[in-house]
Structure 1
């Protein structure tokens, strides 16, 4: 039927996206590049959409991402079904299960690793972690690149479920010498001129905090970009600028005097959510429960703003 999506065509599209070229996909699928091209064209004719941009590497279009996501879900369900049926059990009793998950850098550097430690007890489940800003992890879900994500968005991606995890709490902090030099008096006066540390050019956390204190003005133009959670905390501790440091990373510095809070008692909270494909997958469900259990004790309970 015209509206069907034959599995061999869907798998071929996924192979092209994962391998980056038609030739590479042909090698993986043990067919000719011409056969790969014909299958992709046939799938595009069935869907009535262009599914790939013929670049190097090829990329899925928005419509193609829908098919890629379906292909990954299909592969996950097939693996789970084969495991449940005991197919090829003798040869694959210890076959690993791979799950691609997007995690923001601050979670990975603080509370997410204990979740991995719990997961290590099950030698059959392995994770392919993609580090991405919490505001952008849903894009990887939407594109079919990952099966689950730690995200700041409570709005579910199509075909995904959402559950709250808690909140990452950040403390506006600086080194004592830096604070004495730059951060005296009204924040509305020092924020526009004081150097600030940002994770990368997409990091809006410091700017959002600054806008709250300056009636809409972002943090100053003197910026250090440090795209590592540990490096970010180290940069603030070293006195490069002020920044919002995850509470778990700031505690030691505050305790031994290497850091000071800019506005004692004032924190910034970023609610985090777990989004995952709506699949009856034992492996995915097991990881979701482990992550939720660790987050329950490691993350803060969201509380009203202290403004």
Structure 2
């Protein structure tokens, strides 16, 4: 049988990415964490953790991580069912892109999180990358643009987020008086979420043949700050309808190029066998995500 303390040490390092942080969370020394993981690796005959900064799990470590996280959720569900206890909170780990988290995801989940006493550790990454966090065993489920489910998982369509190419009126008047063209984009400052923002960079590359080195741009890796930067006229960018629609109606933003709208399909990935808690969240997301995504008043 697997040693409980050794597994706890492995799980702490895998989730924190550091022996020191894992030691703090377990209230033991870093050397004790090291000894426990070494003993676990010896028992299993596999290297589980790559001692890097941050630490990474090997393929064998990922398999163990999947097993331990899944077992933890099943144990929580079993105890609640057996004892009828509802005072404690259930924890799940979900990966999502920043725009979903900043707009429709939390309002949709809020009632279920409160009613069923669920806490969520959100992991934020680009929508093209979040499924890698599920594959690495760092989350129990994810929102991603990837439609293909990996082995042992299910991918279900949630809906589509609409993005509009927008700017503040004064910005559009200064930089796009003759419309959006290759020459105009070479001079107008762009707003990009971060270096992983493939939606922006790939669209400009495909439609106008420009890469980020050929036009001025800001990196603003915060959905709220990104929105503020657009509305204050710092640059142009793509905003979700959920954020842009009210400002477009009030003429505080203008849609500079309707032909450059982007429809981003999103999928919910989760393990085929999941806890009752995740089943509840999955059912809610699949039923209502598509409705609320583009309608904040829903």
Task: Give the TM-score normalised by the residue count of structure 2.
Answer: 0.86
Q: Which residue of 1 aligns with 2:226?
A: 232
Q: Which residue of 2 aligns with 1:6?
A: 2
Counterpart check, 1:218 vs 2:218 = no
- Cα distance in 2 for partners of 1:109, 1:207 equals 21
Q: Report the RMSD for the aligned CA atoms in angstroms.
A: 2.7
Q: Which residue of 1 aligns with 2:101?
A: 108
Taking structure 1 as reference, are residues 27 and 265 closer, same or farther at Cα in structure 2, changes over 3 Å only? closer
Q: Which residue of 2 aligns with 1:303?
A: none
Q: Report the Cα offset of residue 280 of structure 1.
A: 3.7
Counterpart check, 1:69 vs 2:58 = no
Q: Which residue of 2 aligns with 1:257?
A: 251
Taking structure 1 as reference, are residues 241 and 78 closer, same or farther at Cα in structure 2, changes over 3 Å only? same
Deviation larger for 110-119 or 50-59: 50-59
Counterpart contact for 2:167–2:254, Cα < 8 Å: yes
Deviations 1:65-124 (A, max 9, x none): 2211211111111222222222xx5xx441111111112111112111222322244142
* Local SS of the residue matching 1:155: coil
Higher helix share: 2
Q: Which residue of 1 aligns with 2:82?
A: 85
Q: Structure 2 regions of 5+ residues with no counterpart?
A: none
Counterpart contact for 1:111–1:294, Cα < 8 Å: no
Q: Which residue of 2 aligns with 1:270?
A: 264
Larger radius of gyration: 1
Match of 1:54 among 51, 54, 68: 51
Task: Give the TM-score normalised by the residue count of structure 1.
Answer: 0.83
Counterpart contact for 1:10–1:68, Cα < 8 Å: no
Q: Which residue of 2 aligns with 1:189?
A: 183
Q: Report the Cα offset of residue 58 of structure 1.
A: 4.2
